[in-house]
Amino acid sequence: MNQFWPATVDGLSLGAIYALLALGYTMVYGVLRLINFAHSEIFMIGTFASLAVVNLFGFSGVGGFALVGVVLVLAVAGALASGASAVALEYLAYRPLRRKGASRLAALISAIGASLFLQQLFARVLIPWWFDVPKEKGALPLQGHFVEREDLFAIGDFVVRNDKFIVFVGAIIMMVALDQFVSRTKLGRGIRATAQDPETSVLMGVNIDRIVTATFAIGGAMAGVAAALYMMRFEETDFFVGFLLGIKAFTAAVLGGIGNLRGALVGGMVLGLIEMYGSVMFGTEWQHVVAFTVLVLVLMFRPTGILGESLQQARV
């Protein structure tokens, strides 16, 4: 069987999750010039919120259009939990530093600290309490099986499954909605203005704190939606789930052009495809090597990524 179509479909489905997660990195970077390393834990919180909803309603064997409805519910829960956590994170871990005029490096260290803190908080305290598991098992994966996998249609000789299709379509819808939001609304204009020139935007009457809060809320909500899609696709999570995905999403953001919303979409999809094609051509053990080699090559010729840094430029 030819591996091209399977790799393409799986690559896009994986890349869609990278892309949604990359949005959070790219927006925060665009506005604050900060790499929010705790974003991977914001995603992790979203997966647990989705799992809690699955357990609460006792979903099982959901397929067809019902699955779309369930995913919507999970996405709302994930977006609320992740968005709120991101705002709280900003308020506790970054705002005090910003107020005191600390260097960006200090905020970066604070981000790494917040990331480790959240991981351990979940593994040792919150997961055992929330999901009623013995304390020493808080670090083990939790499952919530609820999806009935169905074949939708075939591309070439590869059959596309419902979950992979929903992940891809869901991610595209969210990206388009966000893109329109940032380019058309007043709040979106504020975000763009702050990204472009914080001092001048303050003079023009933009409330920076409000913009920063909105940026974290939106980026967090996108991570929450990504978490809901992830839970539908894999149905399993643990306290460490965000680590590798976070690194990949950050890579996707850089690949597409950090600070650029459309770049995050392009970067995520390209990274997903490269990984899958790399696995087919060189073996799965080489997928990360191939992905990062491509990243280095792209940055050699386009140091600002495929689409360039552009949240601060007026055109986005």
Give the Cα separation of 207 and 189 in Å (integer).
Answer: 12
Question: Is residue 295 a contact partner of residue 254, using CB atoms and an 8 Å limit?
Answer: yes
Give me the residue label for tokens 């790219």: 26
230-289 positions binding another protein, by CB under 8 A: 230, 233-236, 238, 240-241, 243-245, 275-276, 279-280, 283-285, 287-288
Of the two residues 52 and 139, which places its CB atom closer to another protein in the complex? Answer: 139
Residue 62 forms beta bridges with which residues? 147
CA atoms within 13 A on the CB side of 53: 24
85 or 279: whose CB is closer to another protein?
279
Q: In b/e form, how buried is each residue of 244-270, taking b as 16+ CB within 10 angstroms?
A: ebbebbbbbbbbbbbbbbbbbbbbbbb
Closest distance between another protein and the C-beta of residue 272, in Å? 9
Nearer of residues 70 and 206 to another protein, judged by Cβ: 70
- Name which of 282 and 314 has its Cβ closer to another protein: 282
**Torsion angle in degrees (nearest 10) through CA of 131, 42, 271, 159:** 40
How far apart are the C-alpha atoms of 111 and 132, rounded to whole Å?
A: 29
Q: By CB under 8 A, name the one of 149, 184, 210, 302 that touches another protein.
A: 149
Size of the site for another protein (CB under 8 A): 35
Q: Which residue's CB is nearer to another protein, number 179 or number 236?
A: 236
Q: Please list every residue from 89 through 148 that binds another protein, using CB under 8 A.
A: 136, 139-141, 143, 145
Report the nearest approach of another protein to the CB of residue 243 (Å): 7
Min CB(158)–another protein separation in Å: 8
Interface residue with another protein among 39, 161, 192, 262 (CB under 8 A) is: 161
Please, what is the minimum distance in Å from the beta carbon of residue 200 to another protein? 41
Q: Tell me which stretch binds another protein (CB under 8 A): 10-18, 216-224, 251-259, 260-268.
A: 10-18
For residue 117, the minimal CB distance to another protein (Å) is 15
CB of 299 to another protein, least distance (A): 23
108 versus 280: smaller Cβ distance to another protein: 280
Contacts of 138 (CB under 8 A, 6+ apart): 122, 123, 124, 125, 126, 127, 128, 239
Q: Which of residues 184-203 bind another protein (CB under 8 A)?
A: none
Residue number, 200 or 284, with CB nearest to another protein: 284
Q: Is 151 helix (H, G, I), strand (E, B) or coil?
A: strand
Helix H or strand E segment including 237: strand 236-237
Between helix 208-234 and helix 64-89 the angle, nearest 10°, is: 140
Separation between Cα atoms, residue 294 and residue 16, nearest integer Å = 18
CB of 245 to another protein, least distance (A): 8
What is the nearest approach in angstroms of another protein to the Cβ of residue 128? 14
Cα 57 off chain centre by: 25
Least Å distance, CB 12 to another protein, is 11
What HEC string does 154-221 produce? Answer: EECCEEEEHHHHHHHHHHHHHHHHHHHHHHHCHHHHHHHHHHHCHHHHHHCCCCHHHHHHHHHHHHHH
**64 forms part of the interface with another protein (CB under 8 A):** no
Q: Which residues bind another protein (CB under 8 A)?
A: 1, 3, 6-7, 10, 13-14, 136, 139-141, 143, 145, 149, 161, 230, 233-236, 238, 240-241, 243-245, 275-276, 279-280, 283-285, 287-288
